[in-house]
């Protein structure tokens, strides 16, 4: 029996390959995923990758997950690494978010999202404009009135650099409201608390921020949300009016999602997409999602590409108008 | 308030919560001794553990314990091997390391432990009494005032501008300010001065620069000059305890700096780093002539001031966090994230809605400080023995921690190249007798200085804000006073001596 060993091995391999999806509670989709995180520990990207990995492994959809933090160049180093070492990065998924679109446009990144394999956008956060709870501005109409009366004095702050996400959202809203987006006196703060301190101290009149952060502040009774960039009111905080219902036709989602190395095989891509798709129905994901206050916004494969191209065009046009490109 | 303290005591004095404080302090102290891991990273590591506990009070008590432990442990590496792993312990190494070199490492660690304990405890008392009141005062500070406050912080460099060193100290400060502009500024969405190198896009890392300026030159010096590694005391650790006389000397320093540090910590845009530099500068300026000359050469006052100030400021930063939901520093921002994940929303309503969380944290601050003191005092002789290790082992040990410190936070090997490059430059500068501390102070304050300055310019539409805002004007005048006064006093004294002759 000369062939026994080889036959056995082939059979074993075939059985393994066939039965892998049936293993581990009968629904494991991928054996292991290596998450590449373009920033340091404790940041938003880090939380997204680790939370997703935790939900996937605990639910048995993925056998094991490992994580690697690679900061540098505001995320550019990790993208470069993934592209240059594409051949050996079959098992890697990189987490990223809206800034990849903005930074590619400005040329800070020599690469663009279309240089990577798009796997899926998994979660997102809408943007919101907030004013202090004690402010006499109560809605977008009030803010626009103040803006018309005194552009310089109606400063709007945010946690990103000029030309970054928070600025673009403020400009986008002003443009949709028929005002001049270039006139927005945008004041940049470091991410986190300093912008909020600026708002409460009265040096800025309104703050452009993420919706989930705005909800936390509004629940504490410190701010009033005067407009959300969602298509409909969000169930998590239904008191917050959308921009649309106030006659300002604009929508914006700060997404987070996963990318594979360029030239990732269609088979492998489909496996990752299946694992992520199946994740939404698991209680493990629901726990992680609720703890972090994330909103499920799922765009897989081609939908993800369409969404990103739409966002790239919209942001690109706006940035050209603002003079950043 | 008494009722609140009782709630806090009953919450904190349960078996689990006491265990959390002690465990948190231990973990924080030991990990905090590694230069690369500051309170921020340690808390980030501990958050999943804390969240899995589920009870918000217990989780927050654990994290607060880790926080104090890390601040406490951080000063150890500053004092022993001149490797400040956190910006707020840079000032600690100014006098702590010279003391260690004189063979007084034990005494230096004891002074640091006592100053930290007092700073933390006084801070906790002030937090308890004044928290709601101070929150509204903190909001009076606009970007213009923060800019002025950073200028006051910069005046700390006057402490290094000794005789004939004014030009050198200024030059190094400017170099530090220039280095702070590398990378993407907060006001500009394009990289500056990066020479196309992607690793420089987020600027130089603080830890990399701190290691390159302080720890690496020290290690290289030890290699180049074998005689230096024999401590002036012949490698012997002496003077573990502080004398009654010394206690009398540092008591007023600790008292003043605990209050000043706490007040600076309350401001969301300032924090422990500014508090430690300012504490150092102010104490040096009001010290008597003999004491003043000791600053930078191993003054226990110069060590007690920043230690008391940075611990009090760390406690102070809980004021905006708990009462307004505003994190004043990276560390408290991570704590805020943890709180929200535990379904506690800090803000004006926290004291009313969930008093047990608020008071448990405050009571755990006392307990944490006590635990740290009793944990550390008996350990000090053993920790200080690190310096008695023969140089063949000590030098690789310092180099290992220095390199690891720069790598661990970012996982970026380029940091190591930058570290070694700057380390060599720094060693050359030291040979030429240029003070390196002003460079680091300039670098740390530079970014905040620039951000706040340009924010004020944009808000007020020009430089006029300096004249229009009295508080800004006042702070700037104070900064000038801090720089000019010592020089003036020195001149008067010099004349006095001349007259006497």
> HEC profile for B388-447?
HCCHHHHHHHHHHHHHHHHHHCCCCCHHHHHHHHHHHHHHHHHHCCCCCHHHHHHHHHHH
pLDDT at B233: 45
What range defines the domain where residue B341 resides? Answer: 2-500
Q: Is B491 exposed, middle or buried (0-12, 13-18, 19+ CB in 10 A)?
A: exposed
pLDDT at A16: 40
State the smallest CA–CA distance between residue A221 and chain B in angstroms: 8
For B184, the 3-state DSSP assignment is: strand
DSSP annotation string for A145-214 = HHHHH-TTTS-EEESS-TTSHHHHHHHHHHHHTTS-GGG--EEE--TTHHHHHHHHHTSSSEEEEEHHHH
- Residue of A72, A73, A161 with shortest CB distance to B186: A161
Structure tokens, A308: 């990103």
SS3 content of chain B, % helix, strand, coil (to 5): 80, 0, 20
Q: Are B44 and A203 in contact (CB < 8 Å)?
A: no
For residue A69, CA distances in Å to A13, A35, B155, B410, B418 come to: 33, 8, 38, 7, 19
Buried b (16+ CB within 10 A) or exposed e, A51-84: bbbbbbbbbbbbbebeeebbbbbbbbbbbbbbbe
Which fold, A28-124+254-322? D-Maltodextrin-Binding Protein; domain 2 (3.40.190)
Task: Tell me A117's DSSP state.
Answer: E
Which residues, 6+ apart, have CB-to-CB distance to B217 below 8 Å?
Answer: B423, B426, B427, B430, B436
Do the domains at A28-124+254-322 and A125-246 have one common CATH topology? yes
> Residue B346: its chain A contacts at CB < 8 A?
220
Q: Which residue blocks in chain A are alpha helix, DSSP H?
A: 4-19, 44-58, 76-84, 99-106, 140-149, 165-176, 193-201, 211-219, 266-279, 283-292, 301-322
- Residue of B139, B348, B461 with shortest CB distance to A221: B348
Q: What distance in Å separates the CA atoms of residue A242 and residue A255, rounded to the nearest whole number?
A: 18
Structure tokens, B71: 């601040």
For residue A180, CA distances in Å to A174, A242, A290, B489 come to: 7, 21, 38, 57
State the smallest CA–CA distance between residue B179 and chain A in angstroms: 17
Which fold, A125-246? D-Maltodextrin-Binding Protein; domain 2 (3.40.190)
Q: How many CB atoms lie within 10 A of CB B487?
A: 12
Q: Are B411 and A70 in contact (CB < 8 Å)?
A: yes
Q: What residues does A117 pair with on adjacent strands?
A: A260
Which of A188, A191, A195 should we substitute to test contact with B (largest number of B Cβ atoms within 10 Å)? Answer: A188
Does B416 touch chain A if contact means CB atoms closer than 8 Å?
A: no
Task: Tell me B342's DSSP state.
Answer: T
Interface contacts (A, B; CB < 8 Å) = 142
Q: What distance in Å separates the CA atoms of residue A216 and residue A220, rounded to the nearest whole number?
A: 6
Q: What distance in Å separates the CA atoms of residue A198 and residue A101, rounded to the nearest whole number?
A: 28
Which of B46, B51, B142, B189 should we substitute to test contact with A (largest number of A Cβ atoms within 10 Å)? Answer: B189
Q: What distance in Å separates the CA atoms of residue B88 and residue B183, rounded to the nearest whole number?
A: 22
Smallest Cα–Cα separation from A132: which of B139, B153, B388?
Answer: B139
Does A73 touch chain B if contact means CB atoms closer than 8 Å?
A: yes
Instruction: Give the model confidence (pLDDT) of B395-431 as tens digits.
Output: 888 888 888 878 876 677 888 999 999 999 999 998 8
Structure tokens, B303: 């060590």
Q: Are A41 and B140 in contact (CB < 8 Å)?
A: no
* Dihedral sign of CA atoms B461, B462, B467, B471 in order: positive
**Helix B2-12 vs helix B355-384: crossing angle, to nearest 10:** 60
Q: Where do the domains of chain A lie?
A: 28-124+254-322, 125-246
pLDDT at A24: 43
Instruction: Tally the domains of chain B.
Output: 1
Q: B287 near B305, Cβ under 8 Å? A: no
For B301, the 3-state DSSP assignment is: helix
Does B203 touch chain A if contact means CB atoms closer than 8 Å?
A: no
State the smallest CA–CA distance between residue A18 and chain B in angstroms: 36
Structure tokens, A239: 């008191």
Alpha-carbon Rg for chain A, nearest whole angstrom, is 22
> Taking CA atoms, what residue in A is nearest to B198?
A73
Which residues between 124 and 153 in chain B have a beta carbon less than 8 angstroms from any beta carbon of chain A? 138-143
Q: What distance in Å separates the CA atoms of residue A232 and residue A192, rounded to the nearest whole number?
A: 27
Does B196 touch chain A if contact means CB atoms closer than 8 Å?
A: no
Which residues between 249 and 268 in chain B have a beta carbon less than 8 angstroms from any beta carbon of chain A? 268
Structure tokens, A263: 């030239």
Does A310 touch chain B if contact means CB atoms closer than 8 Å?
A: no
Low-confidence ranges of chain A (pLDDT < 70): 1-26, 41-43, 191-192
Low-confidence ranges of chain B (pLDDT < 50): 232-235, 498-501
Q: What distance in Å separates the CA atoms of residue A156 and residue A158, rounded to the nearest whole number?
A: 7
Distance between the two ends of chain B, CA-based, in angstroms?
62
Smallest Cα–Cα separation from B425: which of B234, B272, B217, B231?
Answer: B217
pLDDT at A192: 57
For residue A65, CA distances in Å to A282, B145, B297 come to: 17, 47, 51
Which residues between 17 and 76 in chain B have a beta carbon less than 8 angstroms from any beta carbon of chain A? 40-41, 44-45, 51
Instruction: Give the model confidence (pLDDT) of A2-46 as tens digits.
Output: 444 444 444 444 444 343 443 445 578 889 999 999 877 666 788
């Amino acid at each position: 029996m000369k062939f026994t060993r080889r036959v056995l091995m082939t059979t074993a391999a075939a059985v393994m390959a066939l039965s892998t999806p049936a293993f581990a509670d009968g629904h494991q989709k991928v054996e292991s995923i290596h998450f590449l995180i373009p920033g340091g520990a404790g940041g938003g990207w880090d939380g997204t990758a680790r939370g997703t990995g935790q939900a996937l492994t605990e639910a048995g959809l993925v056998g094991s997950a490992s994580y690697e933090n690679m900061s540098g160049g505001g995320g550019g180093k990790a993208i470069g690494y993934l592209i240059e070492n594409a051949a050996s990065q079959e098992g890697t998924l990189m987490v990223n978010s809206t800034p990849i679109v903005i930074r590619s446009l400005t040329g800070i990144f020599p690469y663009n999202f279309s240089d990577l394999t798009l796997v899926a956008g998994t979660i997102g956060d809408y943007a919101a404009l907030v004013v202090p709870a004690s402010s006499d501005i109560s809605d977008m109409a009030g803010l626009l009135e103040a803006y018309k009366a005194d552009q310089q004095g109606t400063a709007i702050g945010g946690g990103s650099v000029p030309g970054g996400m928070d600025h673009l959202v403020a400009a986008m809203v002003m443009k949709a409201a028929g005002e001049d987006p270039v006139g927005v006196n945008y004041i940049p703060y470091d991410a986190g608390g300093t912008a909020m301190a600026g708002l409460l101290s009265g040096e800025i009149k309104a703050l452009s921020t993420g919706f989930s952060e705005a909800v936390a502040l509004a629940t504490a009774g410190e701010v009033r949300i005067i407009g959300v960039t969602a298509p409909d009111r969000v169930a998590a905080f239904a008191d917050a009016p959308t921009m649309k219902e106030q006659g300002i036709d604009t929508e914006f989602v700060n997404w987070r999602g996963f990318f594979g190395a360029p030239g990732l095989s269609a088979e492998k891509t489909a496996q990752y997409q299946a694992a992520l798709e199946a994740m939404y129905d698991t209680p493990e994901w629901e726990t992680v999602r609720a703890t972090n206050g994330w909103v499920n916004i799922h765009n897989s494969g081609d939908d993800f590409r369409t969404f990103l191209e739409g966002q790239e065009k919209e942001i690109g046009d706006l940035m050209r108008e603002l003079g950043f490109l | 308030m008494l009722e609140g303290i009782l709630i806090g005591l009953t919450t904190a004095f349960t078996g689990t919560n006491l265990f959390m404080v002690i465990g948190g302090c231990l973990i924080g102290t030991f990990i905090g001794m590694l230069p690369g891991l500051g309170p921020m990273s340690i808390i980030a590591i501990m958050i999943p553990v804390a969240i899995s506990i589920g009870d918000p009070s217990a989780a927050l008590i654990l994290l607060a314990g880790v926080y104090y432990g890390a601040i406490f442990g951080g000063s150890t590496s500053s004092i022993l091997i001149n490797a400040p792993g956190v910006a707020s312990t840079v000032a600690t190494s100014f006098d702590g390391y010279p003391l260690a070199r004189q063979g007084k490492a034990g005494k230096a660690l004891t002074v640091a432990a006592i100053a930290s304990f007092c700073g933390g405890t006084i801070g906790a008392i002030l937090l308890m009494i004044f928290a709601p009141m101070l929150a509204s005062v903190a909001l009076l500070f606009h970007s213009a005032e923060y800019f002025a406050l950073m200028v006051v912080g910069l005046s700390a460099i006057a402490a290094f501008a000794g005789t004939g060193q004014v030009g050198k100290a200024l030059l190094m400060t400017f170099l530090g300010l220039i280095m702070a502009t590398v990378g993407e500024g907060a006001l500009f969405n394009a990289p500056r001065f990066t020479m196309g190198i992607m690793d420089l896009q987020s600027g130089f890392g603080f830890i990399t620069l701190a290691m390159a300026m302080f720890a690496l030159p020290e290690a290289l010096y030890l290699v180049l000059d074998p005689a230096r590694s024999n401590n002036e005391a012949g490698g012997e650790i002496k003077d573990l305890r502080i004398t009654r006389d010394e206690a009398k000397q540092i008591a007023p320093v600790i008292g003043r700096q605990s209050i000043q540090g706490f007040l600076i910590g309350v401001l969301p845009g300032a924090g422990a780093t500014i508090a430690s530099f300012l504490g150092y500068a102010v104490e040096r300026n009001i010290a008597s002539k003999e004491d003043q000359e000791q600053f930078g050469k191993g003054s226990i006052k110069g060590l007690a001031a920043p230690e008391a100030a940075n611990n009090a400021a760390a406690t102070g930063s809980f004021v905006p966090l708990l009462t307004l939901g505003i994190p004043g520093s990276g560390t408290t921002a991570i704590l805020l994230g943890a709180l929200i994940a535990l379904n506690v929303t800090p803000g004006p309503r926290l004291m009313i809605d969930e008093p047990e969380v608020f008071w448990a944290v405050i009571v755990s601050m006392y307990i944490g400080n006590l635990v740290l003191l009793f944990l550390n005092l008996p350990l000090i002789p053993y920790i200080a023995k690190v310096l008695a290790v023969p140089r063949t082992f000590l030098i690789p040990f310092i180099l290992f921690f220095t390199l690891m410190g720069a790598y661990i936070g970012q996982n970026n090997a380029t940091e190591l190249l930058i570290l070694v490059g700057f380390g060599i430059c720094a060693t050359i500068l030291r040979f030429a007798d240029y003070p390196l501390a002003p460079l680091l102070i300039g670098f740390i304050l530079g970014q905040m200085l620039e951000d706040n300055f340009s924010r004020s310019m944009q808000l007020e539409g020009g430089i006029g804000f300096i004249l229009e805002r009295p508080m800004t004007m006042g702070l700037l005048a104070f900064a000038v006073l801090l720089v000019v006064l010592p020089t003036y006093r020195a001149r008067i004294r010099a004349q006095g001596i001349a007259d006497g002759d």
